[in-house]
Amino acid sequence: MITVLLVDDHELVRTGVRRILEDSGNFKVVGEATTGEEAVAWARGNKADVVLMDMVMPGINGLEATVKYLRVRPEARILVLSMRTEDPFPSKVMQAGAFGYLSKAASPDEMISAINTVAQGRKYLSQEIAQQMALSSFDAKENENPFKELSERELQITLLITKGMKAAGIAEKLCLSPKTVNSYRYRIFEKLHISGDVELTRLAIRYNIVSE
């Protein structure tokens, strides 16, 4: 029996996934979390064979949650299940230590196969995502997604900026100083060759980092 932790802020998604897994007879959902912070807190006293992690949630996103979760449970096998299938999300999460990345558009059979694969200690990428990642390596430099140049922390701060958060709010949320946040902000603008928050948001929408 493979034990699973579900991490998603939508109750409907968690309920649907739980039903699919439990109906299969091979899985037991041992916990649920609505945010990355809840998942990390849960990990301090519990463990699961596989963690199904959403990418976009209130609070820290799936990327940061993966990093923090693995600090508590280095042996954890995290499978991201998200609507965000465009790079740089899959690449960054896999680099952070996740075992797989699966689109929420996947069939129940594929999800079950992905969980079984990850539980066995093998990596899993849905065909669509693997193809996108492979093709992106052949793109001309000028056509590459510029957000791939950002570090995990820079991408996290980018997402918070696009939500309209100011330096003080981001600093409090991430336990950083406003000065440090502004330093990251400057580096983000420099790497993306932009000069302000509005331009950053427009660029993020253009490359499907955030939705309009």
Residue with tokens 């809840």: 38
Predicted TM-score of the model (pTM): 0.70
Whether 89 and 191 share a structural domain: no
Number of compact structural domains in the chain: 2
What tens digit of pLDDT does each residue of 36-73 get?
Answer: 999 999 999 999 999 999 988 877 788 889 989 999 99
What tens digit of pLDDT does each residue of 193-202 get?
Answer: 888 888 888 8
Give the pLDDT score at 27: 94
Expressed in angstroms, the distance from the first to the final Cα of the chain is: 41
Provide the total of helices (H) and of strands (E) in the chain, helices listed first. Answer: 10, 6
Domain span at residue 173 reads 145-206
C-beta separation of 129 from 90 below 8 A: yes
Out of 111, 136, 161, pick the residue that ends a domain: 136
* Three-state SS at 174: helix
Residue 212 domain flag: no
Whether 87 and 166 share a structural domain: no
Out of 102, 117, 136, pick the residue that ends a domain: 136
Within the chain, strands assigned E span: 2-7, 27-33, 50-53, 77-82, 100-103, 124-125
Distance CA 209, CA 211 (A): 7
What tens digit of pLDDT does each residue of 166-196 get?
Answer: 889 888 888 889 899 999 998 999 888 888 8
